[in-house]
Amino acid sequence: MLSAGNESTVEQLKPLFTAFGSQTFYYGEVGKVGGIKLMINALLGIFIQAYGEALLFAEQYGIDKEQVIEMISGSFYEQPDFSGESAHVSAKRICPCVYAQTHDQRFQSGAKRSS
């Protein structure tokens, strides 16, 4: 639970906050919590982007996406936020990757290979 504002009020509300999460983090001024929330959202977006890129990479090597998702789900790489995304990716309802080009397509579109 992210909290801010009057510290004594936050302390009084901590028992209520435990219904929403196991820990309460106090950030002082109210505006700071908004900054923390934006930071968390940015981090989540980066993780989902990386997950999509990894699945695309595996797919481009002919590796079954379902197998990769199952492997990730049973490893220390698994994150709760990915569990929900995995079902959508498997059903081809979403592709969390920004671009879906092979490495060769990138080179053909003007990127130069280093020798």
Domains of the chain: 2-108 (1.10.1040)
Question: pLDDT 10s digit of each residue in the chain, 115 long?
Answer: 899 999 999 999 999 998 988 999 999 988 899 999 999 989 888 888 888 888 888 888 999 888 888 888 777 666 655 555 555 555 555 555 544 444 445 445 554 444 4
pLDDT for the residue numbered 76: 63
DSSP 82: H
Q: Which residues of 54-89 are buried (b: 16+ CB within 10 A; e: fewer)?
A: ebbebeeeeeeeeebbeebeeeeeeeeebeebbeeb
CA distances from 54 to 13, 57, 90 (A): 42, 5, 14
Closest by CA to 7, choosing from 26, 23, 33, 21, is 26
Q: Which two tokens stand for residue 35?
A: 């900054």
CA distances from 38 to 7, 31, 42, 44, 94 (A): 22, 11, 6, 10, 23
pLDDT for the residue numbered 103: 46
pLDDT for the residue numbered 105: 53
Closest by CA to 41, choosing from 78, 2, 5, is 2
Cα separation, 8 vs 12, in Å, equals 6
